[in-house]
């Protein structure tokens, strides 16, 4: 197997750091088929460019990086009670006969589990994991529409195939998970192609509902999806700082703070 060109190899390293949050030199060297010294030189170059931070034995994303895109497995272990509370409140909005869309994310994944008990609904998603959850134990009459495309580190299907399919659809409710939300930047994500399809999700619905646990407040990803004034409802947990809740309530018509059990 021929050795990967340096620019391509550095892109591959950066993608792995963004997916996992951190990498080790020895593992990269083995996976890429190059020497430890070559990997260290690549990490030096990426660190000089501000793409990552070198640490002993490897590298990680810079603290607070707006480009950080942790993988689905890592995110699925965080804020589980908060996500469960948000998902339960979202599921209560869905009635038999409705059509709903769920973008890819760990909070929308929790919602998908809650939706398995609701019959006669149609679910549109760009997440293979969400589709699998609904296919495995569907309620009577459920229909799942899975968009095609290229998979991102956070397990979303994106690109021209996904957007072309979504443009032909329209749903009653759109449930959207986000990387972060702020007053200035609105809803954001670290992934440019996810931003594009998420904007389209918001356009192709009658009512939009953002699902975000309280730790998402104040975070800003690299790419903007929409402003807070472009969504109808935000569902978060009661752990949100009261000052933040008051500020958010001035920008969103319907803010719901759910107790965590």
Q: Where does 6-60 sit in CATH, by number?
A: 1.10.10.10
Q: Tens of pLDDT along 164-178? A: 999 999 999 999 999
In sequence order, the 6+-apart residues with CB closer than 8 A to the CB of 223 are 188, 189, 190, 191, 192, 194, 195
In sequence order, the 6+-apart residues with CB closer than 8 A to the CB of 206 are 170, 171, 172, 173
What distance in Å separates the CA atoms of residue 247 and residue 182, rounded to the nearest whole number?
10
Q: Tens of pLDDT along 139-197? A: 899 999 999 999 887 789 999 999 999 999 999 999 999 999 999 999 999 889 999 99
CB 22 within 8 A of CB 58: yes
What distance in Å separates the CA atoms of residue 173 and residue 253, rounded to the nearest whole number?
16
**Among residues 68, 63, 85, 93, which one has the least CA distance to residue 17?**
68
CB 232 within 8 A of CB 251: no
- The domain spans of the chain are 6-60, 72-258
Q: Tens of pLDDT along 27-74? A: 899 989 999 999 999 999 888 877 788 888 888 877 655 555 555 554
Say whether 173 sits in a helix, a strand or coil: strand
What distance in Å separates the CA atoms of residue 22 and residue 241, rounded to the nearest whole number?
30
Q: Report the topology of domain 72-258.
A: Rossmann fold (3.40.50)
**Whole-number Cα distances in Å, 111 to 64, 91, 228:** 27, 6, 21
Phi/psi of residue 220, nearest 5 degrees: -135, 120
Say whether 209 sits in a helix, a strand or coil: strand
The rounded mean pLDDT for the chain is: 89
């Amino acid at each position: 197997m021929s050795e990967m060109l340096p620019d391509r190899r550095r892109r591959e390293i950066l993608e792995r750091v963004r997916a996992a949050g951190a990498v080790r030199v020895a593992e990269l060297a083995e996976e890429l088929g190059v020497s430890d010294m070559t990997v260290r030189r690549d990490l030096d170059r990426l660190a000089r460019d501000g793409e990552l931070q070198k640490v002993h034995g490897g590298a990680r994303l810079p603290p607070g990086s707006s480009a950080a895109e942790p993988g689905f497995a890592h995110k699925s272990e965080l804020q589980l009670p908060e996500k469960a509370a948000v998902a339960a409140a979202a599921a209560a909005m869905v009635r038999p006969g409705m059509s709903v869309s769920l973008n890819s994310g760990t909070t929308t994944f929790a919602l998908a589990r809650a939706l398995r008990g609701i019959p006669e609904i149609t679910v549109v998603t760009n997440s293979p994991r969400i589709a699998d959850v609904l296919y495995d134990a569907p309620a009577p009459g459920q229909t799942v529409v899975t968009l095609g495309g290229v998979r991102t580190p956070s397990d979303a299907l994106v690109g021209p195939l996904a957007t072309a399919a979504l443009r032909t659809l329209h749903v009653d409710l759109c449930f959207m998970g986000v990387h972060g939300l702020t007053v200035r930047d609105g809803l954001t994500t670290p992934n440019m192609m996810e931003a594009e399809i998420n904007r389209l999700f918001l356009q192709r619905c009658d009512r939009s509902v953002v699902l975000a646990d309280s730790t998402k407040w104040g975070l800003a990803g690299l790419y903007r999806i929409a402003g807070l004034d472009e969504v109808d409802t935000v569902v978060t947990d009661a752990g949100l700082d009261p000052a933040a809740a008051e500020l958010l309530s001035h920008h969103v018509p319907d803010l719901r703070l759910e107790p965590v059990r």
